[in-house]
Structure 1
């Protein structure tokens, strides 16, 4: 499995990272262990989770389930030294019932995020380490940018956690480019650890004009990444919940709200045409397209729920796209 640099840290991480969001909830222990074992046995090392994963499958889940599952798996196989382990804080839900009782309010969850205050992050990380059964994580993200807390407070707290040896590197997620640059400037001014990883939603489809791109990579953010190679993109939801092969999801899934329109239709058509020529699925083709990107290079984060879903993604790792294939896909759109 290929690797890419993590910023300018000197660290090499798997270009194909394993998202563990649904492990311990929709993915039971046996399925999760099978996926994790196959990923590591195939040369992968980069595991991604968060403290809030995953409350949304419903009762009795409230968050922490993915970290606990990983803790059980790490203890079972004694493989902590074989993985690059990432988790996140700031999006823990303080009152899960308040969110579940407002299923039609898109802002209900965000009002319940515990945020990125210094004391909050220190406690949240200690809780994550306890669930994971380890004394440190390799990468710790601010999961959702918190504008209600001074950045100086958040960055100082993260610096203290790095100094204490509880985290090695800092990342940020779900953040606009101007805020990211402000974070970098403050880190430089005060000598605090700057983010080396940016986790955002990124796929072959492009956001529609006017879409809210807080969590989605847009042209400005790509340009920022090209100019700052000390920051590595970790692209989540690369196949948009499987929409490239599922017409129902393409039509109905909420993940498509930021993409629907003529440009998305044209790009779906380009994927379907080339996938048929190459004898692969649309999802496999899009994963391969992402893994072929070089400007900038980034990590593609894939989060299967079953061993079968994981196996279905693996052909993308061996799929070689020619310059002509890449040019066709790049040129497609309205």
Structure 2
């Protein structure tokens, strides 16, 4: 397993992390993802640790907290061998104190997560979404208190817009609070919006990307293809509306390109899609999930090798999309491009 710095911090994280969204299995969305119990989860954690996957990610909204509980059971006896990452901020109930990132909510959410995970500290504690009702200063000051108390090691965010993240970083610097070191983001071959604004920001500010849904919400498994109906057992029948929209023709073009490269390399489509992400700028870790051992082992084989430059170029071309304003002039007009050259993939990529 390759290990990388998490953004500009000193924390080393594995190139692949394990997402515990399939643990617990409560509710419409997470019930469709999976229903792994503690015994099965322990086996998956064993496989991850043997492969060098040492970071495990969850959230309080995953199966109403059951994901964290199952993960806590699964890691008993080896807490010192791994990193725990979790998230809070999204609504966990209808009450006024069950959503957001106010001081009272963050303190309670952290205490609840520590209890469910059965640990005394969380390595990466992330705000799951930007809370426009709570002053940024309040959220940052509270995270600072939690860091000083030893309850969390590093703060991060997830699903922030560029201005929300940049403003937060500026306020943290102004008051001497810990800066966000990670941004957990959606990024895939069929979802490259991260590249237009958030990636240049991350390069400039030293924020590491922790990528969720690297297989495009389950569309890059090899089961969805041109002129082939969605399999009856696909979770997309129940969960597609929860994820970002995807242009079908672009999806099929990407899968066609992946099929060709799979023939050349003997790799599976998921392995190719994940490996492509691992070579992108700012990517510190890609979160993989699995319902069972077979799926997990297949995803783990996405590391230890690299696509050729030609194969990367073909995937880039198949997955390319026109950037929205104000970004498209930098791609299409010489004067704008001269002032804003493309990111250097090798120099900008996160490395130890």
TM-score (norm 1): 0.84
Are residues 1:148 and 2:139 paired? no
Within 5 Å, give how 1:132-171 maps onto structure 2: 132-171=117-156
Q: Cα 1:2–1:148, aligned 2, differ >3 Å: closer, same or farther?
A: same
Residue from 179, 195, 198 that aligns with 1:221: 198
Are residues 1:321 and 2:322 paired? no
Aligned residue in 1 for 2:247:
260
Q: CA deviation at 1:325?
A: 1.2
Within 5 Å, give how 1:1-334 maps onto structure 2: 1-25=1-25, 26-54=35-63, 63-75=64-76, 78-95=77-94, 114-206=99-191, 217-228=194-205, 230-244=206-220, 245-247=222-224, 248=230, 253-254=240-241, 257-293=244-280, 295-332=281-318, 333=320
Q: Cα 1:331–1:173, aligned 2, differ >3 Å: closer, same or farther?
A: same
CA distance in 1 between partners of 2:60 and 2:218 (Å): 24
Q: How many residues align?
A: 300
Q: CA deviation at 1:113?
A: 5.9
The CA RMSD measured in Å over matched residues stands at: 2.2
- Deviations 1:83-130 (CA, angstroms, capped at 9, x unpaired): 11111111242149xxxxxxxxxxxxxx99611110010011001101
Contact 2:189 2:216 in 1 (8 A): no
Q: CA deviation at 1:263?
A: 3.4
- Deviations 1:197-248 (CA, angstroms, capped at 9, x unpaired): 00011111135xxxxxxxx6241112212222x2100000001233121221
CA distance in 2 between partners of 1:263 and 1:42 (Å): 34
CA distance in 1 between partners of 2:103 and 2:243 (Å): 35
CA distance in 1 between partners of 2:301 and 2:179 (Å): 35
Runs (4+) off by over 4 Å: 249-252
- Deviations 1:23-72 (CA, angstroms, capped at 9, x unpaired): 13211222211111110111121111111111xxxxxxxx1111111221
Gaps of 5+ in 1: 55-62, 97-110, 208-215
Contact 1:206 1:263 in 2 (8 A): no
Contact 1:3 1:15 in 2 (8 A): yes
Q: Cα 1:178–1:272, aligned 2, differ >3 Å: closer, same or farther?
A: same
Contact 2:97 2:105 in 1 (8 A): no
Contact 1:145 1:174 in 2 (8 A): yes
Contact 1:242 1:283 in 2 (8 A): no
Q: CA deviation at 1:154?
A: 0.8
Q: Cα 1:233–1:161, aligned 2, differ >3 Å: closer, same or farther?
A: same
Gaps of 5+ in 2: 26-34, 225-229, 322-352
